[in-house]
Amino acid sequence: MDSIEAVEEIDGDFDGRVVFTCEHASAELPEPWLWPDEDRWLIDTHWASDIGAAPFTRRVAQLMNAPAVLSRFSRLLVDPNRPLDSDTLFRENAEGRTVHLNEALLEAERVRRIERFYHPYHAAVSAMVERSRGDTVFSIHTFTDKYEGDARILEIGVLFDDDEEPALRLVRHLEEAGFHVLENEPWSGKAGLAYSPVRHAQEFGRSALEIEARQDLIVDESFSARLAEALASFFS
């Protein structure tokens, strides 16, 4: 099938250093899926999408003239930043409440979503990374400032698995730019939570990095502009 239903693709300089990806860019449920009434509370939350991630991805891609791939479907429909055997590929609970969209899914429905969204998303990323001469697959995510009642003061996390050297260089670079940054926080790439960039980087012999930016900050114009400039200078 045409991947246009599953992805938004941004053209750019394929001789540059980086391809951006944004796995949790959208809270949309494409037809014929609809939000169950009991799940409508999820739509504008971090459970349905990474708030602020899509506009920031477009911003930094435009600033750097870099290619990018963004999802056009909610992570609750199927999560492209998880392997196919993950327990949260189809999340069943959020904040202790049942996600009715994914309640008692039949195998045929799982396959339907994987074939219509998951595989086309990853095919688009693979094609873009293969076309690029860059050295890095760079995934953009965001995290909520409050998670299960706990406040978070971290501004940016840099996630990685095997690519420690470029990740630590990025941490230092962002610290020097004035950001509060930690490695592999609030989640760890070594726990498989940077699945998509790692998958495609390994496929083509590139480095894989993922950032997690705090949602209440990334939607702020000044913070977003500063972070975009900092990433552009890192890859210059």
**What is the Cα gyration radius of the chain?**
17
- Closest residue by Cα to residue 42 from 88, 82, 85, 96: 96
User: What's this model's pTM, rounded to 2 decimal places?
Assistant: 0.96
Using DSSP bridges, classify how beta strands 68-71 and 136-143 pair: parallel, antiparallel or unpaired. Answer: unpaired
Structural domain count of the chain: 1
DSSP 142-180: EE-SEETTEE----EEEE-SS-HHHHHHHHHHHHHTT--
| Angle at CA of residue 13, ends 202 and 158, nearest 5° | 45
Full residue range of the structural domain in which residue 159 is found: 3-234
Which amino acid belongs to residue 28? E
Residue 149 has a pLDDT of 66
Supply 168's token pair: 């630590």
Which strand (E) or helix (H) includes residue 228?
Answer: helix 221-234
Q: Measure the CA–CA gap between 77 and 79, rounded to whole angstroms.
A: 7
Q: Measure the CA–CA gap between 103 and 136, rounded to whole angstroms.
A: 37
Non-local (6+) Cβ contacts of 190 within 8 A are 160, 161, 184
Q: Measure the CA–CA gap between 99 and 10, rounded to whole angstroms.
A: 32
Residue 151 has a pLDDT of 81
Using DSSP bridges, classify how beta strands 156-159 and 181-183 pair: parallel, antiparallel or unpaired. Answer: parallel
Residue 146 has a pLDDT of 78
3-state secondary structure of 137: strand
Neighbours of 40 (CB within 10 A): 10
Residue 1 has a pLDDT of 40
CATH number, residue 31:
3.40.630.40
DSSP, res 212 = E
- Residues of the chain under the 70 pLDDT cut: 1-4, 148-149
